[in-house]
Amino acid sequence: MDDECSLVFKGRVVEGPINKGMSIVIPITDVASIEVKVYDIIHFEKQKDEDKRVGLVVDFADEPEALDIVLGLKIQDETLDVR
């Protein structure tokens, strides 16, 4: 995003509801993960690809090092848990 401390995870909801304040669990290794809060939810209704219609906005302002780690991961095709 424009503020350079937010990231949008674009995809679709596989199961259950998604709400602001929930956490996305991003695996780093087999035993380590980063948990980040959903700051906002964006709906891309004009998106033709149904797998990219929901955007979960995560704010990394308090943890910029976590943003660097997440940007270095190859998770574009991963299914992430949201709690």
**DSSP code string of 24-56:** EEEESSSS-EEEEEEEEEEE-TT-SSGGG-EEE
pLDDT the model gives residue 73: 93
The list of the chain residues with pLDDT below 70 reads: 1-3
Longest dimension (CA), the chain: 38
Q: What's the predicted TM-score (pTM) here?
A: 0.85
